[in-house]
């Protein structure tokens, strides 16, 4: 019996392998493609080198005052000097540890939820959701345990942006779920009320809602009763956002097959129990990515509180750039703010995409 | 044994019909009570503050200047006229933004699917950068960091002595009606009528005999040749008035103020990033089998794209595209951040501060946006219904 020994495979022809072949296939496959590639390189040449030159090569990194910015490029000294204001607004500098502690608590508190093996996740999450707002309010606002009071008018910077965004979504979620259930209800009166509410808030821009909450809310309330500016803005944001959350949740409710509703009814569950135990757990799981997306939109929208005079990150930057000591620093300030917003939004959108893939176990056939 | 049926049914809380009725009555009662309380509170507040409600203030003279008005305006004109100016400016921004964002969005969206690696990557970078930065920040950036830092009119950026970009905005030639204008309009109408007739005839012949006709090229030729001939005979339809530098500013021509430029640029760039994603997912939703089927029927690349891919992709693209248009219309209100005189900054800002008629002004503003939203969505729903898949 003779045994066959195979010759080793030939290497692939050099025309279909290696960087040159790859470039030929992906960048220069036809005259049109070659033209496009050259055009793209020209665009990159137009945009990238000047930006690099301005932001890094010619930039001023060291110093304390405007006079230290001697080179042509960006003056990052401005950002360094005003960093505290951008992050905390007018929060007293000696009390800023309280904000840091609040953020640390949030990170530590949320971290276990990201481990899939953590026991009793639901109970823990619910407890966290109830306890954390109370703790953070005590820490940020003070007034008890000997912590000096910091009025909300002193809050600002990135901290205020985060406060508005998180409170906004936390308040809008339950309201949005109720509205979505109402919109799918069999009772015409409830459906009409919910549809009107949702379509009204979705039809008007957030700016007019903020205007309304700052100008009209005091007129709506009984005499003598008044909220502070931040709370008024928060009420506006929550009402506005709940309409968007409701539409996202409705999408989830519609995606649940009718059989699930019928099965729940066949088990003898009433409306609330069939919703709470059967429908909502599945529907909410489906819409988590959508909710993260509305949160991103809300996060970007928080910049609008500039219109009613709250000092969030963007307004802090705008104000710092108007400081006579730092005139002409608008570009640096806005680029910095854009970078911060971009990091948050991009991070969240990646997370939402990851969730979408991870949770994609549903009713697709 | 007698059943306890319909006519003798007891009214019980366990009966779902009764319960539903009760719930609805409760909800309606709650809504009505809330509305009534709000009305009462507002009424007493207004009386105590000495504000007279009503829309009579619209007749009063405004007494302030407006930076950009599409219709003639004097400081002595009424608030009602200010409202119309604000509304027109909002519509102008929305219209320009929708057109430009659609073009840019389609280009970027198709580029993301390009087989050319570097073009696809560039489009991805564009989308990821611009949709993750708040639109208000982009508007402020373009306004304060780009347009206001431009050189003054005397050392403006000059594009072929036709366009001038400076810190005062964009100066461009103004079109003015010349002798041949009406003849030109008539010739364009004639050309269009001819093209429609030509298409009808060509379609009829194609259905009857199967002989194709170069509708597109012949139509294009007709559209170019007829008006051109007319312009030769009757003279140029438009006369261009060039902007010229005199002293410290430009005289003549049209000027687009920097607020308008910053706003439309930012909104276009921001919305186009979203439209690009919509276009990309729409095209990707048409399965590759459709392309293969079209090719196997003998259609070449062009007709495949025109007759097979695009009609199917549009069905997926139109509904989310509508909501992007709505977002753009609503985002135009961000102009309040830079003081471009549109609805919110002009009417809900300046007029509200001057008159103190908070309820009326906010109500008018909100209903305008509601009306714009509802009409855009009605229009797009009608279009969507027209092109939607008719399932058999």
Q: Is residue A185, in this structure, part of any structural domain at all?
A: yes
- Interval A250-277 mean pLDDT: 88
Q: Is residue A188, in this structure, part of any structural domain at all?
A: yes
A40 to chain B: closest CA residue: B119
Q: Is residue A64, in this structure, part of any structural domain at all?
A: no
CB contact at 8 A, A279 and A177? no
pLDDT at B80 over 90: no
The reply to whether B267 and B382 lie within a common domain is yes
Question: Which residue matches tokens 């309009």?
Answer: B185
Q: Which of A270-279, B53-62, B353-362 has the highest mean pLDDT?
A: A270-279
How many CA atoms, within 13 angstroms, populate the side-chain half-sphere of residue A170? 13
pLDDT tier for residue B30 given thresholds of 50, 70 and 90: very high
pLDDT at A72 over 90: no
Percent of chain A residues topping a pLDDT of 90: 10
What is the H or E stretch that residue B181 is in? helix B181-209
Residue A318, chain B, CB below 8 Å: the answer is yes
CB contact under 8 A, A205 and B344: yes
Which pLDDT score, from 0 to 100, does residue B391 have?
55
Q: Is residue B238, in this structure, part of any structural domain at all?
A: no
Q: Is residue B352, in this structure, part of any structural domain at all?
A: yes
- Interval A113-132 mean pLDDT: 78
- Tell me the sheet residues that pair with B158: B164
Which pLDDT score, from 0 to 100, does residue A245 have?
92
Which of A97-101, A120-124, A284-288, B332-336 has the weakest average pLDDT?
A: A120-124
Minimum-distance CB partner of B45 among A190, A208, A223: A223
Which pLDDT score, from 0 to 100, does residue B389 have?
62
Q: Is residue A256, in this structure, part of any structural domain at all?
A: yes
Q: What does the pLDDT look like over A23-58, one tens digit per residue?
A: 887 778 788 888 888 998 999 999 898 888 888 888
Percent of chain B residues topping a pLDDT of 70: 95
- Tell me the sheet residues that pair with B175: B240
pLDDT at B258 over 90: no
Q: Which of A93-97, A142-146, A297-301, B377-381 has the highest mean pLDDT?
A: A297-301
Residue B218 to chain A, least CA–CA distance (Å): 26
Q: What does the pLDDT look like over B320-379, one tens digit per residue?
A: 888 888 889 889 988 888 888 888 888 888 888 888 788 888 888 889 888 888 887 788
Q: Which of A4-8, A91-95, A128-132, B386-390 has the highest mean pLDDT?
A: A4-8
- CATH for B128: 1.10.3720.10
Distance separating alpha carbons of residues A163 and A238, to the nearest angstrom: 12
Which of A219-233, A350-364, B38-52, B183-197 has the weakest average pLDDT?
A: A350-364
ipTM for the predicted complex? 0.85
Task: Report helix, strand or coil for A364.
Answer: coil
CB contact at 8 A, A63 and A53? no
Q: Which residues of A touch B277 (CB under 8 A)?
A: none
The reply to whether B84 and B25 lie within a common domain is no
Q: Is residue B305, in this structure, part of any structural domain at all?
A: yes
- CATH for A202: 1.10.3720.10
Closest CA to B166 of B249, B247, B68, B260: B249
Distance separating alpha carbons of residues A146 and A169, to the nearest angstrom: 31
The reply to whether B277 and B352 lie within a common domain is yes
Which pLDDT score, from 0 to 100, does residue B99 have?
94
Residues 6+ apart with CB under 8 A from A327: none
Q: Count Cβ atoms below 10 Å from residue A62 Cβ, excluding itself.
A: 9
- Domain extent, residue B44, equals 14-49
Which pLDDT score, from 0 to 100, does residue B46 have?
80
pLDDT tier for residue B193 given thresholds of 50, 70 and 90: very high
Q: Is residue B228, in this structure, part of any structural domain at all?
A: no
Q: Count Cβ atoms below 10 Å from residue A158 Cβ, excluding itself.
A: 21
pLDDT at B274 over 50: yes
A33 to chain B: closest CA residue: B116
Q: Which residues of B touch A206 (CB under 8 A)?
A: 330
Minimum-distance CB partner of A223 among B48, B141, B334: B48
- Domain extent, residue A263, equals 151-359
Closest CA to B377 of B324, B333, B317, B331: B324
pLDDT at B1 over 60: no
Distance separating alpha carbons of residues B266 and B140, to the nearest angstrom: 9
CB contact under 8 A, A44 and B122: yes
Q: What does the pLDDT look like over A177-215, one tens digit per residue?
A: 999 999 888 888 888 899 889 888 988 889 888 888 888
Which pLDDT score, from 0 to 100, does residue B2 have?
46
pLDDT at B271 over 80: yes
CB contact at 8 A, B305 and B113? no
Which pLDDT score, from 0 to 100, does residue A315 have?
87
Which pLDDT score, from 0 to 100, does residue A241 have?
92
Q: Is residue A30, in this structure, part of any structural domain at all?
A: no
Residue A230 to chain B, least CA–CA distance (Å): 19
Which pLDDT score, from 0 to 100, does residue B293 have?
93
Residue B20, chain A, CB below 8 Å: the answer is yes
Residues 6+ apart with CB under 8 A from A230: A152, A153, A155, A160, A163, A164, A310
Q: Is residue A297, in this structure, part of any structural domain at all?
A: yes
CA-to-CA dists, residue A224 to A218, A229, B41, B48, B356, angstroms: 9, 15, 11, 12, 20
CB contact at 8 A, B73 and B242? no
pLDDT at B297 over 90: yes
pLDDT at A271 over 90: no
Q: Is residue A290, in this structure, part of any structural domain at all?
A: yes
Q: What does the pLDDT look like over B172-182, one tens digit per residue?
A: 787 777 777 88
Distance separating alpha carbons of residues A312 and A157, to the nearest angstrom: 4
Distance separating alpha carbons of residues B46 and A17, to the nearest angstrom: 79
- Tell me the sheet residues that pair with B249: B246
Which of A39-43, A62-66, A318-322, B313-317 has the weakest average pLDDT?
A: A62-66
Which pLDDT score, from 0 to 100, does residue A263 have?
92
CB contact at 8 A, A332 and A79? yes
- Interval B134-140 mean pLDDT: 92
Which pLDDT score, from 0 to 100, does residue A1 have?
58
Q: Which residues of B touch A346 (CB under 8 A)?
A: 128, 132
Domain count of chain B?
2
SS (H, E, C) chain A: CCCCCCCCCCCCCHHHCHHHHHHHHHCCCCHHHHHHHHHHHHHHHHHHHHHHHHHHHCCECCCCCHHHCCCCCCECHHHHHHHHHHHHECCCHHHHHHHHHHHHHHHHHHHHHHCCCCCCHHHHHHHHHHHHHHHHHHHHHCCCCCCCCCCHHHECHHHHHHHHHHHHHHHHHHHHHHHHHHHCCCCHHHHHHHHHHHHHHHHCCHHHHHHHHHHCHHHHCCCCCCCCHHHHHHHHHHHHHHHHHHHHHHHHHHHCCHHHHHHHHHCCCCHHHHHHHHHHHHHHHHHHHHHHHHHHHHHHHHHHHHHHCCCEHHHHHHHHHCCHHHCCCHHHHHHHHHHHHHHHHHHHHHHHHHHHHHCCCCCCC
Buried b (16+ CB within 10 A) or exposed e, B148-158: eebeebeebee
pLDDT at B3 over 50: no
pLDDT at A160 over 80: yes
Q: Is residue B253, in this structure, part of any structural domain at all?
A: no
The reply to whether B267 and B363 lie within a common domain is yes
Q: Is residue A221, in this structure, part of any structural domain at all?
A: yes
Domain count of chain A?
1
- Interval B11-18 mean pLDDT: 77
pLDDT at B250 over 80: no
Distance separating alpha carbons of residues B150 and B283, to the nearest angstrom: 40
């Amino acid at each position: 019996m003779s045994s066959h020994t195979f010759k080793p495979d030939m290497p692939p022809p050099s025309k279909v392998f290696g960087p040159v072949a790859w470039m030929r296939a992906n960048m220069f496959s036809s005259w049109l493609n070659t033209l496009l590639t050259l055009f793209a390189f020209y665009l990159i040449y137009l945009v990238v080198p000047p930006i690099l030159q301005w932001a890094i090569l010619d930039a001023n990194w060291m110093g304390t005052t405007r006079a230290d910015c001697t080179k042509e490029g960006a003056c990052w000294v401005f950002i360094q000097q005003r960093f505290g204001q951008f992050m905390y607004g007018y929060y007293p500098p000696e009390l800023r540890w309280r904000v840091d502690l609040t953020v640390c608590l949030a990170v530590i508190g949320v971290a276990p939820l990201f481990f899939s093996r953590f026991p009793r996740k639901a109970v823990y999450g619910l407890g966290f959701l109830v306890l954390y707002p109370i703790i953070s309010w005590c820490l940020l606002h003070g007034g008890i345990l000997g912590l000096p009071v910091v009025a909300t008018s002193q809050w600002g910077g990135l901290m205020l942006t985060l406060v508005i965004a998180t409170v906004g979504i936390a308040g809008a979620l339950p309201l949005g779920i109720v509205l979505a259930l109402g919109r799918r209800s069999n009772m015409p009166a409830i459906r009409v009320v919910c549809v009107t509410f949702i379509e009204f808030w979705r039809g008007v821009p957030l700016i007019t809602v903020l205007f309304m909450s700052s100008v009209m809310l005091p007129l709506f309330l009984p005499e003598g009763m008044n909220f502070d500016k931040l709370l008024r803005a928060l009420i506006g944001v929550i009402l506005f956002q709940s309409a968007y959350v409701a539409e996202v949740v409705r999408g989830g409710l519609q995606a649940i097959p009718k059989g699930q509703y019928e099965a729940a009814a066949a088990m003898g569950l009433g409306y609330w129990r069939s919703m709470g135990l059967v429908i909502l757990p599945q529907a909410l799981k489906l819409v988590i990515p959508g909710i993260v997306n509305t949160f991103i939109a809300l996060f970007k929208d928080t910049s609008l509180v500039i219109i009613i005079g709250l000092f969030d990150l963007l307004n802090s930057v705008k104000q710092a750039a108007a400081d006579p000591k730092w005139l002409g620093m608008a570009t640096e300030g806005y680029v910095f703010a854009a970078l911060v917003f971009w990091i948050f939004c991009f991070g969240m959108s990646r997370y939402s995409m990851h969730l979408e893939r991870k949770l994609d176990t549903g009713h697709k056939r | 044994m007698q059943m306890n049926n319909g006519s003798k049914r007891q009214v019980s809380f366990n009966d779902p019909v009764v319960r539903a009725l009760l719930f609805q009555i409760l909800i309606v009662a709650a809504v009505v009570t809330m509305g009534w309380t709000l009305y009462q509170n507002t009424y007493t507040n207004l009386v105590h503050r000495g504000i007279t409600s009503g829309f009579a203030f619209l007749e009063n003279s405004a007494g302030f200047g407006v930076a950009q008005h599409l219709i003639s305006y004097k400081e002595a004109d009424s608030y009602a006229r200010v409202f119309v100016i604000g509304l027109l400016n909002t519509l102008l921004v929305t219209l320009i933004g929708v057109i430009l964002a659609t073009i840019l969005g389609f280009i970027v969206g198709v580029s993301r699917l390009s087989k050319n690696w570097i073009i696809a990557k560039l489009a991805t970078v564009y989308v990821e950068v611009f949709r993750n930065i708040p639109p208000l920040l982009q508007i402020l950036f373009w306004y304060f960091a780009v347009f206001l830092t431009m050189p003054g009119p005397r050392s403006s950026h000059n594009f072929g002595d036709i366009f001038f970009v400076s810190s005062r905005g964009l100066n461009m030639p103004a079109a003015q009606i010349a002798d041949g204008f009406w003849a030109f309009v008539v010739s364009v109408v004639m050309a269009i009528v001819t093209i429609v007739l030509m298409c009808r005839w060509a379609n009829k012949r194609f259905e009857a005999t199967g002989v194709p006709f170069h509708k597109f090229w012949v139509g294009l030729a007709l559209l170019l040749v007829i008006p051109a001939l007319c312009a030769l005979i009757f003279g140029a339809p438009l006369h261009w008035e060039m902007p010229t530098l005199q002293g410290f500013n430009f005289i003549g021509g049209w000027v687009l103020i920097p607020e308008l430029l910053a706003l439309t640029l930012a909104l276009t760039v921001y919305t186009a990033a979203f439209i690009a994603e919509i276009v990309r997912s729409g095209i990707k939703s048409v399965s590759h089998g459709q392309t293969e089927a079209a090719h196997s029927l003998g259609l070449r690349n062009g007709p495949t794209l025109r007759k097979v891919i695009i009609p199917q992709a549009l069905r997926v693209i139109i509904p989310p595209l509508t909501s992007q248009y709505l977002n753009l219309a609503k985002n135009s209100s961000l102009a309040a951040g830079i003081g471009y005189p549109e609805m919110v900054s002009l009417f809900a800002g300046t007029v509200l501060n001057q008159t103190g008629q908070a309820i009326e002004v906010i109500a008018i503003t909100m209903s305008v946006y509601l009306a714009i939203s509802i009409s855009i969505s009605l229009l797009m729903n009608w279009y969507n219904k027209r092109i939607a898949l008719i399932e058999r």
